[in-house]
């Protein structure tokens, strides 16, 4: 039995993709520890992992989550550096594991702890990865490398990494020290997927049991449309009002998740629409015929798993990349979020729901996801990294 330590930022899009892997490693007899906050402790404990309680500098702050690119890059890097220092202080007495599994996008403390402990690290990537053939920066993000704010942050981070013995900043940010990168999407969905050969393993989505979130059943025989903008960039009352206007009198049952928006500001709700703050998304998608989505990678993979065509309404750069890939592969369509009106929105919903070509492409992608192997393939890869047959 090996001890595997998990680390991830306090964000659903980074914690959720690791839970299935944690549960599978526990099932195979390994001891799994997972450092997480109170918000995610219950769902982590449900995997059988030992919860290592930590507090996050990000939770409880009325600050929009920054994006790790563009004009927000320097602010985002400062937030991650602050979080890293806090987490390292809280985890300074943690037991040394045999292997670290950590989020590859923002969990700098996972990388540093693996260096401190001199144990192999497996990175989990819940979104697109990049190399010299494709990267977010080529089309979707830009930043000024000569910006005084960026240069100051780069100096601060470099000094911090040098003090920690974690190497040069460029290599650290790329995760060059990782023994393996587990990418939670099928290679066929990754841009330039065939060019990623060195230490990248595309295992597809790593779903975990989420029956604790509750079940959902349609109330009748109408086709079901799910509408959700995810957990982070969902403060869009105007968009939700457009959905209500668009769905009125349509022969559909519409499930609308509005996040933190006050339902009282949306106005009258048509009888064929149910409004929730959050929904058990997998349970609803099991019945859905269309999904109007922000195109976050987690939601995208869940929709593909159930073969549900998407109308993508991306809110930020990573989601735009996902949305464009959805359209490019024939898995749905894309609408510009700032130009949506009622009739075109529902026209797009009905078009993707009834499109035979889209159904064929969804069936193809489901086959690619099955072939990727999912949670068992990811656990096999971790055990190979541990030096055990997997």
- pLDDT per residue as tens digits for the range 320-359: 999 999 999 999 999 998 889 999 999 999 999 999 999 9
211-370 has which fold? Answer: Rossmann fold (3.40.50)
Q: Does the pLDDT at position 288 exceed 70? A: yes
Report how far apart, in Å, the C-alpha atoms of 64 and of each of 232, 334, 371 are. 8, 24, 37
Q: Which two tokens stand for residue 300?
A: 């995208």
Q: Are strands 200-202 and 180-183 parallel, antiparallel or unpaired?
A: parallel
Q: Assign 102 to helix, strand or coil.
A: strand
CB within 8 Å of 212: residues ≥ 6 apart? 42, 43, 46
CB within 8 Å of 303: residues ≥ 6 apart? 285, 291, 293, 309, 310
Count of CB atoms situated within 10 Å of the CB of 345: 20
Count of CB atoms situated within 10 Å of the CB of 322: 26
Average pLDDT over residues 54-82: 77
Q: What confidence score (pLDDT) does residue 231 get?
A: 73
- pLDDT per residue as tens digits for the range 9-39: 998 889 999 999 999 999 999 999 999 999 9
Distance from C-alpha of 269 to C-alpha of 272, rounded to nearest angstrom: 8
Q: What confidence score (pLDDT) does residue 12 get?
A: 85
One-character DSSP codes across 324-389: HHHHHTTSEEE--GGG--HHHHHHHHHHHHH-HHHHHHHHHHHHHHHHH-HHHHHHHHHHHHTTS-
Nearest to 325 by CA among 219, 190, 135, 229: 190
- pLDDT per residue as tens digits for the range 200-245: 999 999 988 777 777 999 999 999 999 999 877 778 899 999 999 9
User: b/e for 226-236, b at 16 or more Cβ within 10 A?
Assistant: bbbbbbbbbeb
3-204+373-385 has which fold? Answer: Rossmann fold (3.40.50)
Average pLDDT over residues 53-81: 77
Q: Does the pLDDT at position 368 exceed 90? A: yes
Distance from C-alpha of 390 to C-alpha of 384, rounded to nearest angstrom: 6
Confidence of residue 199 (pLDDT cuts 50, 70, 90): confident
- The one-character DSSP state at 177 is T
Give me the residue spans of the domains in the chain. 3-204+373-385, 211-370
Distance from C-alpha of 298 to C-alpha of 106, rounded to nearest angstrom: 16
CB within 8 Å of 364: residues ≥ 6 apart? none
- pLDDT per residue as tens digits for the range 141-182: 777 777 888 899 999 999 999 999 999 999 999 899 999 999
Distance from C-alpha of 369 to C-alpha of 205, rounded to nearest angstrom: 8
């Amino acid at each position: 039995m090996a001890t595997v330590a998990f680390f991830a930022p306090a964000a659903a899009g980074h914690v959720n993709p690791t839970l299935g892997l944690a549960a599978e490693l526990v099932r195979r007899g390994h001891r799994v520890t997972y450092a997480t906050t109170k918000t995610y402790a219950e769902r982590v404990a449900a995997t059988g992992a030992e919860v290592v309680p930590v507090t996050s500098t990000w939770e409880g702050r009325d600050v929009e989550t920054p994006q790790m690119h563009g004009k927000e890059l320097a602010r985002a890097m400062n937030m991650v550096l602050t979080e890293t220092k806090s987490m390292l202080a809280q985890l300074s007495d943690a037991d040394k594991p045999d292997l670290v599994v950590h989020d590859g996008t923002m969990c700098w403390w996972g990388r540093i702890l693996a260096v401190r402990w001199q144990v192999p690290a497996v990175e989990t990537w819940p979104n697109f990865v990049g190399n010299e053939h494709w990267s977010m920066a080529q089309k979707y993000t830009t930043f000024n490398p000569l910006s005084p704010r960026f240069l100051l942050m780069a100096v601060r981070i470099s000094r911090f990494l040098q003090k920690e013995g974690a190497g040069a900043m460029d290599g650290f940010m790329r995760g060059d020290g990782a023994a393996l990168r587990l990418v939670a999407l099928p290679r066929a969905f990754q841009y330039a997927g065939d060019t990623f050969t060195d230490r990248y393993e595309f295992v597809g989505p790593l779903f975990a049991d989420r029956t604790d979130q509750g079940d959902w059943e349609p109330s009748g025989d109408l086709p079901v449309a799910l509408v959700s903008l995810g957990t982070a960039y969902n403060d869009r009352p105007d968009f939700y009002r457009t959905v209500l206007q668009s769905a009125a009198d349509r022969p559909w049952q519409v499930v609308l998740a509005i996040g933190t928006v006050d339902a009282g500001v949306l106005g009258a709700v048509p009888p064929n629409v149910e409004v929730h703050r959050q929904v058990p998304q997998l349970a609803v998608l099991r019945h859905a015929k269309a999904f109007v989505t922000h195109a976050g990678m987690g939601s995208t993979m869940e929709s593909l798993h159930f073969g549900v065509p998407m109308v993508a309404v991306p809110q930020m750069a990573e989601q735009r990349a996902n949305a464009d890939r959805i359209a490019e592969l024939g898995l749905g369509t894309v609408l510009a979020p700032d130009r949506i009106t009622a009739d075109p929105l529902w026209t797009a919903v009905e078009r993707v729901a009834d499109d035979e070509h889209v159904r064929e492409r969804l069936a193809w992608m489901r086959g690619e996801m099955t072939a990727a192997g999912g949670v068992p393939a990811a656990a096999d890869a971790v055990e190979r990294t541990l030096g055990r047959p997997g």
